[in-house]
Amino acid sequence: MERIYLQPANVPKPAGDYSQGLKVKGGTMVVISGQVAWDVQGTLVGKGDFRTQTRQVFENLKNMLASAGATFKDVIKLGIFLKNREDFAAFREIRAQYLTPPFPPTTLLVVKDLAREEWLLEVEAMAVVS
């Protein structure tokens, strides 16, 4: 699989450590719906604790990726939904334990609410595996 990071001269560079765009040649696409802080029994992990919920979300993503023969190195797009803007720094810290720069193209939304009140974040991913 070949990755070509896109940063044309006529588009502003991102302020953070993520990529503006990515062209991928070869491989099979894997699409993972938004993961939340549920354990395998469907029980919320870390009620009211953003860091604990974030770790559980990334563990769920890791397990979903593994089921497709992928790892975080294969992720080409992230969608992040946070309930509180103030949690972004903690999110970035935990994300760095699972992914390394350059981070894939990413969309971050701060939302009023998620499908369940107790969820503090939800993260979706796309990956390409050879």
DSSP line for 26-69: SSEEEEEEEE-SB-TTS-BSSTT-HHHHHHHHHHHHHHHHHHTT
Model pLDDT for residues 34-74, shown as the tens digit of each residue: 999 999 999 999 999 999 999 999 999 999 999 999 999 99
Is 20 domain-assigned?
A: no
Res 124 pLDDT > 80: yes
pLDDT at res. 74: 95
pLDDT at res. 8: 83
Residues 69 and 17: their CA atoms lie apart, in Å, by 26
DSSP line for 65-111: HHHTT--GGGEEEEEEEES-GGGHHHHHHHHTTT--SSBPPEEEEE-
Compute the half-sphere exposure of residue 92: CA atoms within 13 Å on the CB side of its CA: 13
Is 111 domain-assigned?
A: yes
pLDDT at res. 43: 97
Model pLDDT for residues 64-84, shown as the tens digit of each residue: 999 999 999 999 999 999 999
Is 16 domain-assigned?
A: no
Is 115 domain-assigned?
A: yes
Q: Mean of the pLDDT values across residues 14-37?
A: 87
Q: How many domains does the chain have?
A: 1
What is the share, in percent, of the chain residues with pLDDT greater than 90? 77
Band of pLDDT at residue 1, cut at 50, 70 and 90: confident
Is 6 domain-assigned?
A: no
CATH (domain of 45): 3.30.1330.40
Is 18 domain-assigned?
A: no
Is 5 domain-assigned?
A: no
Is 123 domain-assigned?
A: yes
Q: Supply the range of the domain harboring residue 56.
A: 26-129
